Structure 1
Amino acid sequence: MSIAIVTGTSSGIGLHTAVGLARAGFDVIATVRDVARADALREAADAAQVHLDIRALDVTDAAGAQALVEGAGAVDVLVNNAGRGAVGTLEQLTDDDLQAQLDTNYLSVARLTRLVLPGMRARRRGRIVTVTSVGGAVGQPFADAYCGAKFAVEGLMQSLAPVVAPFGIEVAIVEPAAVASSFVESVDRSDAGPYAEQLQAYLDRTAAAFAAAQLPEDAARTVVEAATTAEPRFRWQTSDAAVRFVGLSLADLDGSRVLGATSQWVRGTSGA
């Protein structure tokens, strides 16, 4: 049976991706930071009548990541899903804030990917799917650290893809827009100081977006498709909203379309 590792599976996209891959016939290693908080994952697996190998992993723990991969066997699919958000503009962000975003959203992804590559290369097959965000293509107000890390991981994966392709390894990124999940609850926030009015305008706009958010099980279907399709491609979006939003940047040669749109999110305040 083919082996898949999925990180960040305690809720949301990761949970439904793990279950979806198990339904597709994979032996799924589903990682969570704390196995004591994996009840929703266990319940979802039971409801779907599939088995998941649930293991503890803090993706920022290098030794833990190495032990996980070494004990996993021949990994055919890696889904880098674990992530953490942050709200704050650069003037209020500390070096520690920036590093925390890089550690979770970029460096941990690079590390796990590097660990599975030798085995995939030797077997001349494998697929690496990284869940990024529309924030990996479009920089957004007060998401400076988050978008910076997501931009970085998209650049990493786009650079890696053509190098490993001759060895039978496919690389893909999946870009969700707003998804109804506990991700928002885990977002780190900083004191906005002189930018408080602009931040409130941004948060109001964001709340409206999440009120109409995509269901995580719908987004997970795209991740599963990216991991299993016979016609792989590099970039995937999980919804029409994500397609439209990412399109702002991918066709924006001089940057004016993105800045024109995102400036509206914080306009009409004393700081604008």
Structure 2
Amino acid sequence: MNTQDNAMKTVLITGTSSGIGLATAVAAARAGMRVIATMRDTGKAEPLRRAAAEAGVADRVEVLRLDVVDPASVSSCVAEVVDRYGRLDAVVNNAGAGRVGTIEIGGIDEVRATLEVNFFGVVEVTRATLPHLRASRGRLITVTSVGGVVGQPFNEAYCAAKFAVEGFMESLAPVAATVGVNVTVIEPGAVASEFVASAVPDLPALVDAAGPYAPALQAYIDRTMKSFGTAQTADDAAAPIVEALTTEKPAFRMQTSDWARGFVGTKLTDLDGSAIQSLTDTWVR
């Protein structure tokens, strides 16, 4: 679709204060869409506003508050968008938070908190917006991760949440299609953004607290830091999301890089799990 085709389409994107969400908001506006860029703390909106202004699309980006773990916040934001613009054509579930650790050390509360943001937040936004997407025969796009397909060491809670999102969306997709809503999941690999820093704000303290798992955790961290040294940019990761927003019939599952396609492909053809276990074992030794 060209920019003119998208001129009156309204897309709501969660988690736009940085990283993939910010890049997607600007790219969608450049594609001609009206972007409702949401975030939990609108005091962090200045980088997005600056990027939108530099791209010449500030007039097509509106910042609203939406906290995905607060149902009242979600309902209020969605109602405001529909009241103001009369429609909602697409939703990009992007908000999320990383969590590095292991169950024996971190405990169950960390698992619950990770699922609350990464899974239940997606479910809540989806529930609130589906009636409006039905009305517009729109798009529901969710940023998951290669970690939603491949379980990764010291990412038990995060991968559990992303696996849950993938299962939820894969199950929802044929149902939503019967009422005209297209469902897509986007699977990034390593992306250069603030996501890693938010997932592990204090690496030395994390390793110190890991007890018998400290050597494996240090090996994992060393390997991960190297992989993020060659990570794709947030702009590159946003490109497939905009493709899913604008192409006539996007695929259900889309990766954001050749590396991500290869990694996910290994899992999807690994019937007994041995290939992935052999691969990820090298990350902790």
TM-score (norm 2): 0.91
Aligned to 1:222: 240
1:119, CA displacement in angstroms?
2.0
Structure 1, gaps ≥5 residues long: 268-272
Gaps of 5+ in 2: 1-7
- Aligned partner of residue 152 in structure 1, secondary structure: helix
Q: Over aligned residues, Cα RMSD in angstroms?
A: 1.1
In the aligned structure 2, how far is the partner of 1:139 from the partner of 1:3? 35
Q: 2:73 aligns with which of 50, 64, 72?
A: 64
SS at structure 2 position matched to 1:54: strand
Amino acid in the other structure paired with 1:139: G
**Worse overlay, 202-211 or 183-192:** 183-192
Partner of 1:208: 226
Match for residue 164 of structure 1 among 149, 170, 176: 176
- Aligned residue runs from structure 1 range 239-250, under 5 A: 239-250=257-268
Contact 2:90 2:133 in 1 (8 A): no
Which amino acid counterpart does residue 93 of structure 1 have in structure 2?
A: G
Percent identity among equivalent residues? 55
The answer for the alignment partner of 1:53 in structure 2 is: 62
Q: Which residue of structure 2 aligns with residue 270 of structure 1?
A: none
Q: What's the offset of the Cα at 1:231?
A: 2.6
Query: Do the aligned partners of 1:7 and 1:14 also contact (CA within 8 Å) in 2?
Result: yes
Deviates more, 1:185-194 or 1:154-163: 185-194
Equivalent residue of 2:123, what SS?
A: helix
Per-residue deviation, residues 211-249 of structure 1 (Å, max 9, x unmatched): 000011010011111121113110000001101111121
Moved over 6 A (4+): none
2:161 — aligned with what? Answer: 149
Partner of 2:33: 26
Alignment of 1:170-181 (within 5 A): 170-181=182-193
2:23 counterpart residue number: 16
CA distance in 1, matches of 2:256, 2:135: 32
C-alpha deviation, 1:93, in angstroms: 2.4
| Matched-pair contact (CA < 8 Å) for 1:126–1:170 | yes
Matched residue, 1:126:
138
Match of 1:93 in 2: 106
User: Secondary structure of 2:37's partner?
Assistant: strand
Aligned to 1:42: 49
Q: Following TM superposition, by how much is the alpha carbon of 1:188 offset from its aligned partner in structure 2, in angstroms?
A: 4.7
The residue aligned with 1:103 is 116
- Residue type of the alignment partner of 1:56: R
Per mean C-alpha deviation after superposition, the further-off stretch among 52-61 and 146-155 is 52-61
Question: Residue type matched to 1:31 in 2?
Answer: T
User: How many residues align structurally?
Assistant: 266
* Residue in structure 2 matched with residue 198 of structure 1 by the alignment: 216
